[in-house]
Each structure stands twice: as structure tokens, then as C-alpha cells.
């Protein structure tokens, strides 16, 4: 009986050792390297979400706007399969809205495009595993910090009588007597969630969702009850050196 227990214990120990080795192999010996760098570029689909007042149903009726991002990341290995990945990205965000009206013999259209630009600094925890010698899958999560660099809003109007006009004004800051502004704060903070695949240790393809947590609306411009937030989905491609 003792010999049977010993054989079973030995078998279980061998299976556990083999499983642990398989898990270690999955994270890959290449994950033990030093600090590395990469470049990223991507397509953004962004939106501004929120409402003018929590006591009403008057929510922002904005549509998504297509933009882009470009920048660089640094991969700092902590242990097999776990990295910290800070980055620096130039990214465009924003939204757009459009309205129209028509009646017999008359029509009009109005639209507004919001085009802010940010310098974004993500600091992501990156979990990675090799699924083959040439394919490494990754999951990222962590905070991002963004600083508004500039950007404009553009209002356009036209009607069937031939009237057409447009105006541009800054996205960030408060309006003054001499200049209208949208009234957004420059600083933004939020969480980023993403996943990607690295092919042949160099070529990267991934997706990221940025959830803005800072209320963009300036109180003096919109009132204390207004709450606007950045939302952004991006598809990224890159190269790791």
C-alpha cells in the first residue's frame, strides 16, 4: 500500500513539474531580454460622451469621428510574461454632430466638428505569452494621461436659399468677450484596455479602448452639472526593435 501511495505521489509530482514547465515555456525565453523599444501608428474612432445635466434626458448627441495616432513605446521586462509598457503618443480625438430641417420648398443643414489633439502617455501592465515560435499574444491594461495640445471646432451652416457660412474656434479653454471656445479642459486621465499580437518578434497588430475619466467640461462654460468624457477605440500597427 505504501508503495502504491509513493507511486501515485511521484506521478502527480511529475505531472505538476511538466505542467509548470509548459507554462514557463509558454511565456517564452525571449521574454527574459532587456529593455526594448517600438513605434506605433493607428486609426482612431473617437467620441465625446456625456450629458448637459443629470436631471434631464438632454444627453450629448455626438457621432464618432475618425482620427489617427502615432508615437513610441518602451517595453520594460519585470518577469517572464509580464512587462511595464510606458508610451508617448500624438493622438487626435473629438466628435461631430449634424442636424437638418426641411419643409415645403426650403431646407437647411448645420454641422459641427470637434478636432482636439492630445499628447497621451499610457503606462500599461502588459501580460504576454508565446503561442508558437513566431506568435506572441498580449493583453494590456493601465492608466493613461493626456494633455491637450490644441485643436479647433468648426461650425458649418447652409440652406436652400444659397446662404452658407462657417466659423472656427478653439476647443480648449473658456470663452472670452473676444473669442468663443468650446470650453474643454486640457488635462485628461483615464484607463486603457487592449490586446495585440506580435509576429516574428517585430511586427505588432493590436486594438485599444481608452476610457476617459476626467470631466472635460469647464464649470464656468457649461455649469457644474455638465459632464463630458473622451471615448476612443483604436487599431494599432507597429514595429518592435
Question: What pLDDT digit, counting tens, does each position of 160-203 carry?
Answer: 888 889 999 999 999 998 889 999 999 999 999 999 999 998 99
- The cell for 69 is 495616432
pLDDT for 62 beyond 90: no
- Residue 210 belongs to some domain of the structure: yes
Q: What is the pTM of this model?
A: 0.81
Residue 11 lies in a domain: no
232 domain residue, yes or no: yes
Query: Which of 8-17, 65-74, 132-141 is predicted with the least confidence, judged by mean pLDDT?
Result: 8-17
Specify if 15 maps to a domain: no
How much is the pLDDT for 224? 87
Cell of 51: 450629458
What whole-number distance in Å separates Cα of residue 212 and Cα of residue 28? Answer: 34
Residue 55: inside a domain, yes or no? yes
* pLDDT score of 24 more than 60: no
Burial 182-218 (b: 16+ CB within 10 A, else e): bbbbbebebebebebebeebeebebebebebeebbbb
178 belongs to a structural domain: no
pLDDT digits (tens, 9 = 90+) for 192-214: 999 999 999 899 999 999 999 99
Q: What CATH number corresponds to the domain at position 219?
A: 2.40.160.20
Is 24 a member of any domain? Answer: no
Q: What is the tally of structural domains in the chain?
A: 1
In a domain, 6, yes or no: no
Other Cβ atoms within 10 Å of 112 Cβ, number: 16
Q: What range does the domain containing 236 cover?
A: 31-97+114-152+185-240
DSSP string, the chain: -HHHHHHHHHHHHHHHHHHHHHHHHHH-GGGG---EEEEEEEEEEEEEEEES-TTSS-B--PBPEEEEEEEEEEEEEEETTEEEEEEEEEEE--EEEEEEEEETTEEEEEEEEEEEEEEEEEEEEEEEEESSSSEEEEEEEEEEEEEEEEEEEEEEEEETTS-EEEEEEESBS---SS-----B-SEEEEEEEEEEEEETTTEEEEEEEEEE-S--B-HHHH-TT-EEEEEEEEEEEEEE-
pLDDT of res. 20 = 43
Amino acid at each position: 500500500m505504501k508503495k502504491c501511495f509513493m507511486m501515485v505521489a511521484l506521478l502527480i509530482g511529475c505531472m505538476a513539474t511538466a505542467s509548470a514547465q509548459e507554462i514557463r515555456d509558454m511565456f517564452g525565453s525571449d521574454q527574459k531580454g532587456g529593455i526594448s523599444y517600438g513605434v506605433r501608428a493607428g486609426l482612431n474612432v473617437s467620441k465625446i460622451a456625456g450629458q448637459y445635466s443629470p436631471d434631464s434626458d438632454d444627453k450629448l448627441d455626438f457621432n464618432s469621428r475618425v482620427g489617427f495616432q502615432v508615437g513610441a513605446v518602451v517595453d520594460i521586462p519585470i518577469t517572464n510574461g509580464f512587462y511595464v509598457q510606458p508610451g508617448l503618443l500624438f493622438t487626435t480625438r473629438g466628435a461631430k454632430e449634424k442636424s437638418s430641417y426641411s419643409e415645403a420648398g426650403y431646407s437647411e443643414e448645420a454641422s459641427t466638428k470637434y478636432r482636439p489633439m492630445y499628447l497621451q502617455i499610457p503606462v500599461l501592465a502588459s501580460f504576454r505569452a508565446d503561442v508558437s515560435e513566431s506568435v506572441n499574444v498580449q493583453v494590456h491594461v493601465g492608466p493613461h494621461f493626456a494633455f491637450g495640445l490644441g485643436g479647433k471646432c468648426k461650425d458649418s451652416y447652409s440652406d436652400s436659399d444659397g446662404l452658407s457660412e462657417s466659423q472656427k474656434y478653439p476647443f480648449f479653454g473658456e470663452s472670452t468677450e473676444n473669442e468663443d471656445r468650446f470650453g474643454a479642459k486640457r488635462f485628461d486621465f483615464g484607463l486603457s484596455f487592449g490586446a495585440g499580437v506580435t509576429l516574428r518578434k517585430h511586427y505588432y497588430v493590436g486594438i485599444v479602448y481608452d476610457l476617459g475619466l476626467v470631466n472635460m467640461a469647464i464649470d464656468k462654460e457649461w455649469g457644474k452639472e455638465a459632464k463630458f468624457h473622451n471615448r476612443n477605440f483604436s487599431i494599432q500597427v507597429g514595429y518592435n526593435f
